[in-house]
Amino acid sequence: MRAAAVTEPGRLRAIGAVLALVLVAFGAVTAWQVATRAAAADAVVDTSQPLSADAAAIYRSLADADTTAASGFLAGGQEPRAVRQRYEKDIALASRLLVKAAAAGEGSGAARDRIAALNEGLPRYTGLVEAARANNRQGLPLGGAYLRYAGDRMREELLPAARGLYEAETGRLGSDYDDAKSWPWAALALGVVALGALARAQRRNYLRTNRVFNHGLLAATAGTAVVLLWLVAGHAVARSGLEGSYAHGARSLQALTEARIGSLQARGDENLTMVARGAVLTKNGDDQYESNYRAGMGRLIGGEQGPARAGSLLDRARALADDAGGRAPVDAAIKDVRTWQQRHGEVRVLADDRGDYKDALQKVIGDKDSTGASFDRVDTELERALAYEQDEFRQAADDGRGAFSGLAAGAAVLTVLGAAGAVAGIGRRLSEYR
């Protein structure tokens, strides 16, 4: 065997075996790495982003339920049917999505803990709200205490758990993005090695036979070059599409979700200001819920007039919108928040300076020219922006993952054919020694 290795036929057989092994390894590693990245891209579109969206919907539904419960309480013992239905719809949606999230069973331990906390705390919250309603229908002041306690439980327990679930699912989405976008360095390195080995084999063939081309080796080289170029170009296109879906889709969705929840919490604090009527104070003696409202508005938009302040939630949402279709609803929401702030100032003048609680209440929950009407417009515009950015995300992500289509199978087929070509080319040289 050792003697055969020092003869030209023996060397040719060894070269053929090495070339075939390198080419098959290149094809196998390419197929494996492309398949894992394609699976991660599929997970982005079909699993982690929908789960992140569901977690955001749970978060939003709970915040909206709390806001709506306070609005219904302010309406008096005869709660408007539409308000009651909105509250029940929010609770039903949150409950259904929690069941769906638990059934998925693929989240992190942190996500499962948050789901358990929400499943445990939500029935307690709804029980407190029902107690508040029952007392309110009888005209008992205890109803306000029940509602404030329910609101505290929502802010201190349920919303933090919902936010934790949202952050866990968003982190999973980011991890899937990283997996899908990572370059297949092992496959690229093997491709370069394969091309180098083929080039060296052809140079050796030329020096020993003075023949410029060996058809089998040339075919193997062409196939390997095609796979390598396809791998680079395909991954670059996929990476570009996925980065676009993240920058102009996923990040925009996250910013809009934060802004929408911020507006819901500000509205909830505004309602509780009217429910508490100064009964809950800060250490400085200020109304607790009014202070919370002002802080929330500062995070949401900042200032009292003009464009959203730099760094605020609405400013971030607008900055991430990359076209007029995405910016238009955010601009409309900013305008409506400014109107809301103006009307809120009028409410405080009526309630605090004039002691006219009845007119102040109408300015908060009335159908026309009220802070509630402004809030509803803000919520509608942000919902429209979310729907637009969701479509942007889906289109860019589908374009990105589409670039992986056929690459794994194509690489496997071409490299196997290349290995066969290399063996055939070496075999032709061997036939000259027979």
Q: What is the DSSP string of 103-139?
A: HH--S-HHHHHHHHHHHHHHHHHHHHHHHHHHHHHTT
3-state SS, residue 240? helix
Q: What is the DSSP string of 405-427?
A: TTHHHHHHHHHHHHHHHHHHHHH
Which residues, at least 6 apart from 419, have a Cβ–Cβ distance to it below 8 Å?
A: 19, 20, 23, 24, 27, 220
Coil vs helix vs strand at 141: coil
- In this prediction, residue 1 carries a pLDDT of 44
Q: Per-residue pLDDT averaged across 138-155, rounded?
A: 90
Please give the average per-residue pLDDT across 115-131, as a whole number. Answer: 95
User: Are 144 and 132 spatial neighbours (Cβ–Cβ below 8 Å)?
Assistant: yes
pLDDT tens-digit readout, 21-40: 999 999 999 999 999 999 99
Q: Tell me which residue has tokens 């819920």.
A: 289
Tell me how far apart the 2 most distant CA atoms of the chain are, in Å.
Answer: 112
Least confident of 10-24, 40-54, 108-122, 309-323: 10-24
pLDDT at 106: 61
Neighbours of 227 (CB within 10 A): 27
Look at residue 211 in the predicted model and tell me its pLDDT: 61
Q: What angle do CA 137, 68, 55 make, to 5 degrees?
A: 140
Q: How much is the average pLDDT of 229-240?
A: 94
> Is the pTM for the entire model greater than 0.75?
yes
Do 330 and 321 meet the contact criterion of CB atoms below 8 Å apart?
Answer: yes
Are 216 and 426 in contact by the 8 Å Cβ rule? The answer is: yes
Please report, as a single letter, which amino acid is at residue 303. Answer: G
Position 6 confidence tier, pLDDT thresholds 50, 70, 90: low
The amino acid occupying position 30 is T
Question: Could you read off the pLDDT of 340-359 as tens digits, one per residue?
Answer: 999 999 999 998 888 898 89
Higher pLDDT, 427 or 27: 27
- Sign of the CA dihedral 62, 63, 68, 70? positive
Q: Cβ distance 13 to 430 under 8 Å?
A: yes
**259 C-beta neighbours (distance < 10 Å), count:** 29
Question: Is 30:187 a contact under the CB 8 Å cutoff?
Answer: yes
Please answer whether residues 184 and 207 qualify as being in contact, where contact means their C-beta atoms are separated by less than 8 angstroms. no
Q: What's the token pair of residue 225?
A: 């070059």
Whether residue 103 is predicted with pLDDT greater than 70 in this model: the reply is yes
* Domain locations in the chain as residue ranges: 10-431
What pLDDT does residue 5 have?
56
For 162-177, what is the mean pLDDT?
92
* Other CB atoms within 10 Å distance of the CB of residue 244: 18
For residues 227-244, give the mean pLDDT. Answer: 94
pLDDT at 118: 96
The answer to whether 74 and 272 are in contact (CB under 8 A) is no
β partners of residue 281: 287
Q: Are 357 and 351 in contact (CB under 8 A)?
A: yes
Please return the burial class of 229, using the count of CB atoms within 10 Å of its CB with bins 0-12, 13-18 and 19+. Answer: exposed
CB 190 within 8 A of CB 26: yes
Average pLDDT over residues 102-121: 84
